[in-house]
A = this chain, B = another copy of it.
Amino acid sequence: MTEKEFFMKKAIAAAKRAAKCDEVPVGAVIVKDGKIIATANNRKERENCAVFHAEIVAVRKACKKLNNWYLDGCEVYVTLEPCPMCAGALINSRLDKLYFGAYDPKAGCCGSLCNLVEDKRFNHNLKVEGGVLREECAELLSSYFKNKRAENKAAKERKQGE
């Protein structure tokens, strides 16, 4: 296993914890000098607030850990291509590099719909590598939504049978 696969596996483990709490399974880890300084998963449902994507929670944890808002020298590994909010948070926090797993053709802004993190007009850019353990990351999401649809269908049928 390569180093980037090792860290993506950690992000996948975080995403699986999110799924157990009925959150869309996305996980992120932030690494500095070869060590994980923050691990987080999507907490939107638990916090009842759409700001709490995995990347945002990870950035907050990393800032606390380093006691610094300026996360230079840091790399982030996330199971899904960041949305505009999260891409912006990574730019604002000055991380060096982004590795992501699955591409997000509906909201991804790091290569799919646009590429904010490499847009030279901003005062900071991140290097990007997408598709790290891509299939495993995508499978996490597709099986979560498949189960969700089955649950909703079963609940509907129970209701009709009452």
Smallest CB–CB gap between A23 and chain B, Å?
A: 12
Smallest CB–CB gap between A73 and chain B, Å?
A: 15
Number of copies: 2
Interface residues in A66-101 by Cβ distance below 8 A to B read 67-70, 83-89, 91-94
Smallest CB–CB gap between A26 and chain B, Å?
A: 13
Smallest CB–CB gap between A56 and chain B, Å?
A: 6
Bound Cα distance from A49 to B59, whole angstroms: 8
Residues of B within 8 A of A87 (CB): 84-85, 88
Smallest CB–CB gap between A96 and chain B, Å?
A: 15
Interface contact A51-B89, CB-CB below 8 Å: yes
- Which of A11-19, A116-124, A129-137, A145-153 is found at the contact surface with chain B? A116-124
Bound Cα distance from A113 to B89, whole angstroms: 17
Smallest CB–CB gap between A151 and chain B, Å?
A: 20
- Cβ contact of A85, chosen from B45, B69, B88, B114, cutoff 8 A: B88
29 CB < 8 A contacts A-B: A44-B69, A45-B69, A47-B63, A48-B64, A48-B67, A48-B68, A48-B69, A49-B59, A49-B60, A49-B93, A50-B59, A50-B63, A50-B92, A51-B56, A51-B93, A83-B92, A84-B88, A84-B91, A85-B86, A85-B89, A85-B92, A86-B88, A87-B88, A88-B88, A88-B109, A106-B121, A107-B122, A113-B121, A114-B114
